[in-house]
Amino acid sequence: MTPNAPSTFNNMLLIAGFECRKFLFNLRGIIALIAFALVWGILLLYPIQGASTLLMQPNVKDLIDGLLGSQALNVLFDWPVAEMAIFWCFALYLFPMFSILIAADQFSSDKTRGTLRFYTLRTSKDSLLFGRFLGQILIQGLLILLTILATIALALTRDIGLLLPALTSGALVGVNLVIVILPFTAVMTLLSLYANTARQAMVLATILWTVVSIALLILGNQSSLFEGLQWILPGAQLSNMVNTNGLNSFAYAPIPLLQTAFALFLGRVYIQRSQL
C-alpha cells in the first residue's frame, strides 16, 4: 500500500456515501422513496392522526386500562405530544420490516454478477462489509428523519406551541429507532452475503425469525433457564419498548447493540473466508 492510499476507514466512508447516492439517485431508489412517502403519508393522515385524537380523550385511558391492565400502555399517556406517541408505536414495528426489505440486497446481486470480486481488487473486504452496512443505516436514518419531521408538522397543525416538546421527543425517538434497526440491518448483511438474490435473503430472514421464535418459545416453556435466550433474536425487546418514552427507552439499547456486534462479527468471518 502506498503512503497516500486511502485507509480502510476512508474506503468505508466512500462506500457508504456511494450506497446513499445509489439509493437516492437511482430509479429503483426513487420509486422506493415515493412508495415509502405514500405509505407513511396515509399512516400519518389517518391511523396516527385519528389515534392521537383518541389518546387525548380523558375516558380512553380508563378504557385501555380496563382492557389491557393499568400498566400495559400507561406511559403512552405521559408523552408531551400525542402524535409522536402513536408514531412511536407504529415505527417500532414498521421500520424493522422496512429494514429487512431495504437491506436485503446489500451483496446478493453483486455476488451473482461477480462484481463483488471486482470491488475487492480495489478495497478490502472489511471496507466493503462495514461501508455497505453504514450506507444502509444512513439511508434508513434519512427515512426515519423524514417521517419524524412529518409527524412534527402534523402535531404543529394542531397546536403550534408543541414545537419544542415535539422536537425533543422527535430527537429521542429518532436515535432510538436507529438503534432498533441496527441488528435487523446487520442480520440482512449476513444473509445477503449467503443468498444469491434479495428475495432469497428475505425468505431466509423469514425462516430465521420464525424458526428461532418457535424454538425459543418451546425452550422457554421447558425451563426458566431458557427465558433469557429470547434476547438473542433482533426485535425481542420491541414489545417492552412500546410502553416507554423519553430517555427511559434507552434502557433497552444494549440489547440491539450487542446483537448488531454479533451479527457483524459473523458477517466479517463469512466474507473473509468466502471467495466471492
The whole-number pLDDT of residue 223 equals 66
**Model confidence over 95-114: pLDDT tens digits?**
999 999 999 999 998 888 88
**Model confidence over 205-218: pLDDT tens digits?**
999 999 988 888 78
**Model confidence over 107-154: pLDDT tens digits?**
998 888 888 888 888 889 999 999 999 999 999 999 999 999 999 999
Q: Which residues of 52-67 are buried (b: 16+ CB within 10 A; e: fewer)?
A: beebeeeeebeebeee
Task: State the maximum Cα–Cα separation within the chain, in Å, rounded to a whole number.
Answer: 70
pLDDT surpassing 90 at residue 60: no
Q: Which of 257, 219, 237, 238 is nearest to 90 (CA)?
A: 238
Dihedral angle sign, alpha carbons of residues 145, 180, 103, 114: positive
Q: Which of 249, 265, 255 is nearest to 233 (CA)?
A: 255
Cα distance between residue 52 and residue 82, in whole Å: 5
Cα distance between residue 259 and residue 186, in whole Å: 8
Note whether 133 and 102 are within 8 A (CB): no
Cβ atoms < 10 Å from Cβ of 10: 13
User: Helical H runs in 69-124?
Assistant: 82-102, 108-113, 115-120
The whole-number pLDDT of residue 4 equals 52
Q: What pTM did the predictor assign?
A: 0.92
pLDDT band at 5 (very low <50, low <70, confident <90, very high): low
Average pLDDT over the chain, rounded to an integer: 89
The whole-number pLDDT of residue 225 equals 62
User: Helical H runs in 103-162?
Assistant: 108-113, 115-120, 125-158
